[in-house]
Every structure is written in structure tokens, then in C-alpha cells.
Amino acid sequence: MSQGQEPPKKRFPLTLDLVTGTADRKRSSAAPRLNSLQTATRNAAKHAPESKVVASPTASARPLNTPAVTKLAPTVIQPRSTNSPLVSDAVRKAMIQRLAQQGIKDAKVLAAMEAVPRHMFIEPGLASQAYIDASLPIGYHQTISQPYIVARMIEVLRDGIEGKMSRVLEIGTGCGYQAAVLAQVAEQVYSIERIRPLHEQARNNLRSLLIPNLRLHYGDGMLGLPQVGSFDGIILAAAGMEVPQALLDQMAIGGRLAAPVGTKNQELRLIRRVRRNEWTTETLERCHFVPLRPGTFG
């Protein structure tokens, strides 16, 4: 969905058209729209009380506050049983088909998106919308990112590699959805959230999924996790004016980082660390995320 456009009005129960995006496709043949570049978090940005985006990440540097480290116990992903057809496997499969139509090619990413029950990360009142291609509010003026951008960022991070990435860091856990998807394609995933109640909400959402290779941290993600070492992939789920140097420094040589950059007009960037002191940057597409903010809250 493009920036500034209102999402289509939904009637309940949703038709499969709306869930699969075919309604959008039908509409677009009648009335041309901008390319589907919007990504995450317009709703939240609109209502966010703090409007300042940090221009200099290093200016806010302070010791990482990481008292709450949650290790989740092992098992496979097992969605809670539900009677609603809207949260069934079929609806999730329809989302996967739509992602493929939107250009997501990496089979491992599509499989990861299919494995994670997105409706379990959304409050019950909105769960019927879990598989539409939109960001949704998760509280504290934040949102769960739209499925397309979650898949897209992970795809560019993976760069088509055969196996799993080894160590990945996510900045902005939110409700924990993207972290759960990442955990399907990486050996170890670390995710940092600066808003304590959201960190706790993510921990609760993830508890029953029992994902052994995911660690949640409460703290300022702009500082990264220097105590963990270097990461072969880093994803930012919130947009700053630039990518914090601390995160660039925590990339492994050959590692990749995907991040939205900007305020109103944001772009998705892919940064590669080619040598110890050399990074390359590629601009991929327009996007819209909530702001990256320094420090912690709550």
C-alpha cells in the first residue's frame, strides 16, 4: 500500500478476495495505484506522540540496558487451535501465494512465513485481519509490520543462500512476529525492543511457540548487542535518519543489514560489509516504518 493511501474498507467476515489480495488486484485494473511500496507502520506513525527522529545515533549512546533476556524453550511451531477459518492454514497459504505474486521468490522465506501463525501476534479483536497485507496496531503507537515487508527484508538479508544464516539481530521486536519468522531461517536470532511492555508482550506471544533459537532483549537497539559478537544479518524494524554506527560495526565481514532510512520519505537500504572498514549501500524501494528512537521506555 502506498504512503498516504487509506487501506480498503473491510467488511466482516472478510472475503477470500480481501485476504488474498485479489480484491486489490481487481481494483487496480479499474483505478491505477502507485506501486505497492508502503511497508510497515503508517497507522502508528500517524498517532505517535513523539515526532522527533534521532539524527545522530551516537549522541544518545548510553550503556545497554539488558536486564531481561528471555530464552525460549525448544519445540516446533504449533499454532493454538482455533475455530475461525480466517486463521486457518488455508488463509495463511493464501498469504503465501500473495507474497509470491508480490515478488518474493526465496522458497525458504515463503516457507518461514507459512510456518509462523501471524494471528497469534495480534490482539484477538484484530486477529481476523492477521493475514491481510497491512500493518496493524500492537499498542504503544507501534505496529506489526505488513507481511510483504517482513518477507522482503528477510529475503534481501538471506541473499538466496542455501542453508541458514548463522547469527541475526533484529532491532524492534514489537510483538515478536518478525523475530519468529527470522528464527526459521537463522541458527540464532537476537531481537531487541526498547518499550518494556512490548518486550513482555512479545515474550508472551512467543511463549507457546517455544522457539529455542530466539533470544529477546529489552534495551536500546541502536547500540546493538556488542557482547554477543558479530552478526551475519541485521534487520531494523524502525527507521532512523541513518544506520547507527554501532550496528555497522557489529556486522560480520560479508554480513548484510536491511534498514528503512528517513523520516517521511523513507527508503529501504541494503548495506553489505565488504571489508573491515568498507560498507556498500544499495537503495531498494520506498517504505514506511515507525521511527527508530534512542533509549528505553517503561
Catalytic residues: 145
How many residues in the shown chain lie near ligand SAH by CB under 6 A? 26
Written as nine digits, the cell of 262 is 528517513
Q: Which stretch binds ligand SAH (CB under 6 A): 159-167, 217-225, 250-258, 279-287?
A: 217-225
User: What is the maximum alpha-carbon separation in the chain?
Assistant: 54
Written as nine digits, the cell of 230 is 558479530
145 binds ligand SAH (CB under 6 A): yes
174 binds ligand SAH (CB under 6 A): yes
Q: Binder to ligand SAH among 38, 142, 250, 266 (CB under 6 A)?
A: 142
Written as nine digits, the cell of 190 is 537476537
Please name the residue that has the C-alpha cell 495505484: 33
225 binds ligand SAH (CB under 6 A): no
| Distance in Å, CB of 144 to ligand SAH, minimum | 4
Q: Binder to ligand SAH among 222, 243, 246, 251 (CB under 6 A)?
A: 222
Please name the residue that has the C-alpha cell 507501534: 142
Residues 2-61 that bind ligand SAH (CB under 6 A): 41
Please name the residue that has the C-alpha cell 493475514: 131
Q: Which stretch binds ligand SAH (CB under 6 A): 2-10, 75-83, 139-147, 258-266?
A: 139-147
Q: Name 1's Cβ contacts closer than 8 Å, sequence gap at least 6.
A: 7, 36, 38, 42, 133, 134, 146
Give whichever of 178 and 266 is closer to ligand SAH, judged by the CB atom.
Answer: 178
194 binds ligand SAH (CB under 6 A): yes
Give whichever of 22 and 60 is closer to ligand SAH, judged by the CB atom.
Answer: 60
Q: Binder to ligand SAH among 86, 195, 225, 243 (CB under 6 A)?
A: 195
133 binds ligand SAH (CB under 6 A): no
| Distance in Å, CB of 291 to ligand SAH, minimum | 7
86 binds ligand SAH (CB under 6 A): no
| Distance in Å, CB of 229 to ligand SAH, minimum | 19
Give whichever of 276 and 286 is closer to ligand SAH, judged by the CB atom.
Answer: 286
| Distance in Å, CB of 49 to ligand SAH, minimum | 13
Q: What angle do CA 259, 137, 150 make, to 5 degrees?
A: 35
Q: Binder to ligand SAH among 144, 154, 165, 287 (CB under 6 A)?
A: 144
129 binds ligand SAH (CB under 6 A): no
193 binds ligand SAH (CB under 6 A): yes
Q: Binder to ligand SAH among 177, 183, 243, 246 (CB under 6 A)?
A: 177
- What Rg, from alpha-carbon coordinates, does the chain have? 18
Written as nine digits, the cell of 257 is 543489514
Tell me the C-alpha distance between 125 and 71, whole Å: 29
- Which positions touch ligand SAH (CB under 6 A)? 41, 142-145, 171-175, 177-178, 192-195, 198, 220-222, 237-238, 290, 292-294
